[in-house]
Chain A
């Protein structure tokens, strides 16, 4: 892919990912956040965290299914935006929802499973964001870096659980996210199985050279 195309693609991702935040700011200015603005902001940021996170996890399955790879250039950007929204979501909870009432928040973290998993997920995003630079990849070494970044699977499961456990009966959103995550992880898992079988066959072929 040409350099110019790549830049255009990234600019488009920037625009799309910043749009929800822009809409929130606009709604804030025009006093259009509804009757319960803090709840609305929290939910909107949470929703976009999951959407962008799932988008970042969809890139590899797309490569596996359709054998195209230009989208892989967007992985870091999407990952960082997911982290950005997750931390905004978390910050709104701390500042607007609980207004720095640390005791109350700690109580919630310990006692409410949906908050526990949510806080773990945002915490786990930190090392991934911190090691997103090319220099960090070099310093860690490719293998270590990949191992560390497998945490994103844990994070995405925790993120979806967070929503599943907080949503009230009748709300379908969390099930949709769970379904999409299930499909995305299954594709990876099937690919992993396929590679395992291939490696075994290759080893078998090597050990019986003249069979």
Chain B
């Protein structure tokens, strides 16, 4: 006689649903790669992520070919996860980008805590292909999706006292393992990660409030669900996983400036003529290329942004 009995342990208790789903998407990704024609495999073999539609804004697209999606999403500096480059993509599943709110506050007429899904719909999204130059001497070209931060700034109407904008990244050791207190994290940064711009920099049309890349919502390791992209500054100026945008009258104390003031200044504009105290900034390695290439003043955006710094000594204001 066959006696059927429910198993003692349900399969969902053995395999976490999320892991199961990840496995699904992994397999789908593999299938997609296998099915894609070989020539398409670099840029297109992308994303199994959630699509995010946007019109490409041709006025903000560089000629350089975009960096491979795989490189963009597996070679990341995101200290909240890990100090090594591969760590963030490995640990990215720990971050929960929904539900998410962004508090917009400070010296503005309309302070408000925005739900991320409301924030993303405030203005039409556009795709912009920007160069990204890391202070460590490597660079990428990334098709971002977002809208100009200026649109949001104008909407909330800064008062006369607002001179700077401060961006704060999420602090939650549950989601960001490197924020956990441990003897191995002693030499790191103070959390939360704070970055900032001058109000005119925040209003510059190049500065992008970013929700996606490569036609999909931001992968967690790239700063989901919302980040800043300031293409003429070193990458660390572009805060990720933002929970607060505050308009202040004093220059914000930024995370890297606090950690190593003689190495990282508030401005941190890309500048081949001002070396990092420990290494040269004259050249960079574009990810995917063999030879180093010369670094451009303001990362190649001098025409658009140099006027912001007219009369300033860029060696002093590094």
Instruction: Write the residues of chain A forming the contact surface with B, with a CB cutoff of 8 angstroms.
Output: 34-36, 38-39, 96-99, 101, 104, 107-108, 111-114, 165-166, 168-172, 175
Contacts and interface: CB of A to CB of B under 8 A. Distances in A.
A99 B291 CA distance: 7
A166 B184 CA distance: 19
Contact of B260 (A108, A169, A172): A169
A96 B290 CA distance: 8
Q: Would you list the 4 A-B pairs with minimal beta carbon distance, nearest first?
A: A35-B75, A35-B71, A170-B188, A170-B83
Contacts of B282: 104
A34 B280 contact: no
A169 B74 contact: no
Contacts of A172: 184, 187
Interface of B: 68, 70-71, 74-75, 79, 83, 85-86, 136, 138, 184-185, 187-189, 259-260, 275, 278-280, 282-283, 285, 287-288, 290-292
B184 A112 contact: no
B313 to A, nearest CB: 21
Contact of A36 (B138, B187, B189): B138
B278 A114 contact: yes
Candidate in B275, B278, B282, B283 with the most chain A CB atoms within 10 angstroms: B278
A39 B285 CA distance: 10
Given A34-B86, A97-B292, A170-B187, 13 more contacts: A34-B85, A35-B70, A35-B71, A35-B85, A36-B75, A36-B287, A108-B279, A111-B280, A168-B83, A169-B189, A169-B260, A170-B83, A172-B184
B283 A170 contact: no
A112 B278 contact: yes
28 contacts: A34-B86, A35-B70, A35-B74, A35-B75, A35-B288, A36-B85, A36-B285, A38-B290, A39-B138, A39-B285, A99-B290, A99-B291, A99-B292, A101-B292, A104-B282, A104-B283, A107-B280, A111-B280, A112-B278, A112-B280, A113-B278, A165-B278, A166-B278, A166-B279, A170-B79, A170-B83, A171-B83, A172-B187
A165 B260 CA distance: 13
Contacts of B290: 38, 96, 99
B75 A34 contact: yes
A162 to B, nearest CB: 12
Contacts of B79: 170
A111 B280 CA distance: 9
Contacts of A114: 278
A112 B20 CA distance: 49
Nearest to B76: A35
A85 B20 CA distance: 42
B119 to A, nearest CB: 30
Nearest to A96: B290
A39 B138 CA distance: 10
